[in-house]
Structure 1
Amino acid sequence: MVSMMNKFILETVKEDLFEKVLKIYNTNQEYFQISMNNKPSMESVIEDKNGTPPDSCLENKSYKLIKLNGVDIGVIDYIVNYPDEDTIYIGLFMVDGNFHRNGYGREFIEEFITNIENQGFNRIRLGVLNENRKAFEFWISLGFKVVKEVTSTIHPERNWKIKVMERRI
């Protein structure tokens, strides 16, 4: 399913698009070094597509390619009504490394926020790995604030320390 925003198009990722997602992942080696201490793989894509936090379900999850003028520029994974009914939780937001520092990420998130606000959501929440300084600064610049720090319950073996960030809309 393809959904429109204003400038960007979101395309639901099914198996035939896994290679396109992996290509985007491969342009973000720094993130995968921090998060997995490894390179991304097809298993990473499948795990991201099918993974949900505790007390959520796949029916509320969207895993989509972000397109701009027909070009795949990123991927977003989000869950509606999590952890609360009026909240969207972004599990992953990644812009293709070839498009970093061009304002596309900021422009997409601003459009995304407008879109979900029009649907009645009041908050966006997400988690940033403590070591991911660039992501933390990006989200701060968009008005997100740290609401707590936790150790992730997803992949406990990785011992992720996460800043939970939120923005009211």
Structure 2
Amino acid sequence: MNIKKISSRYTVKILDEEDIVDVYNLCRHNEQYYRYCPPFVTEESIKNDMIACPPGKTLSDKYYVGYYDGDKLLAVLDLILDFPNERTALIGFFMMDLKCQNKGLGSSIVSELSEALRKEKIDAIQLAWVQANPQPESFWHKNGFIETGDISHMDNYTVVIAQKNLRSN
């Protein structure tokens, strides 16, 4: 997948260790996210997230990317292809810069990503949000994600699994 083609509006690049400070500075201002989904972000947790893969997946399936407007990091996305099954993409993490929220930018990123994945023959996108946190639930519903009925219990919280189908039946 050519990651640079998932947005016509922003520059998208694979993030690496040189970008950890920028990712940290974006994430640390989103205190509400970490209140519902602890622990609070650290540079070490970002480094670990950059290489974390679900069972059976490798870094060749993973795209830990940043969306840039010029040299300003606006959003971070962790995307795994063909997970949890073939022709499904998993958004493991998506966070907008706090100053960019509630302006439609996140929705435009999700819309462009959905179209790019559809062109890559991906049939659905799956993700999860913390059950008690109304902000991501509202955002993902607005962007066409529907609860699958599955939940997953983590150590300190429960997540709701949701999916957006990219193909009409």
Relative to the length of structure 2, the TM-score reads 0.90
Structure 1 unmatched runs, 5+: none
Q: Which residue of 1 aligns with 2:20?
A: 18
Aligned partner of 1:102 in structure 2 is 103
The corresponding residue for 2:165 is 168
Cα distance, 1:53 vs structure 2: 2.4
Corresponding residue number in structure 2 for 1:32: 34
SS in 1 for 2:89: strand
Deviation by residue 1:30-69 (Cα, 9 ceiling, x = unmatched)? 1012111x43211221122122223333221110111124
| Structure 1 position 2, deviation (Å) | 6.7
- Equivalents in 2 of 1:160, 1:56: separation in Å? 25
1:69-148 residue pairs with structure 2 within 5 A? 69-148=70-149
Distance 2:69 2:149 in 1: 34
What is the letter of the counterpart of residue 89 of structure 1?
A: L
CA contact (8 A) 2:36 2:157 kept: no
Instruction: Tell me the TM-score normalised to structure 1 length.
Output: 0.90
8 Å contact kept, 1:149–1:161: no
CA-to-aligned-CA distance 1:90-117 (integer Å, 9 cap, x gap): 0000000011111100011001111111
Query: Which amino acid counterpart does residue 151 of structure 1 have in structure 2?
Result: S
Query: What secondary structure does 1:3 align onto?
Result: helix
Which runs of 5 or more residues in structure 2 are unaligned? Answer: none
Overall identity of the aligned pairs, in %: 21
CA offset digits 1:78-136 (Å, max 9, x no partner): 10000111111000000000111111000110011111111111100001111221001
CA RMSD of superposed structures (Å): 1.7
Question: Match for residue 8 of structure 2?
Answer: 6
Establish whether residue 64 from structure 1 lines up as the match of residue 65 from structure 2.
Answer: yes
CA contact (8 A) 1:63 1:78 kept: yes
Amino acid of the structure 1 residue aligned with 2:162: M
Amino acid at match of 1:61: K
Give the whole-Å Cα distance in 2 for the aligned partners of 1:145 and 1:47: 29
Distance 1:116 1:108 in 2: 12
1:123 counterpart letter in structure 2: A
Instruction: State the one-letter code of the partner of 1:165.
Output: A
1:46 match? 47
SS at match of 1:85: coil
Q: Is the 8 A contact 2:145 2:164 kept in 1?
A: yes
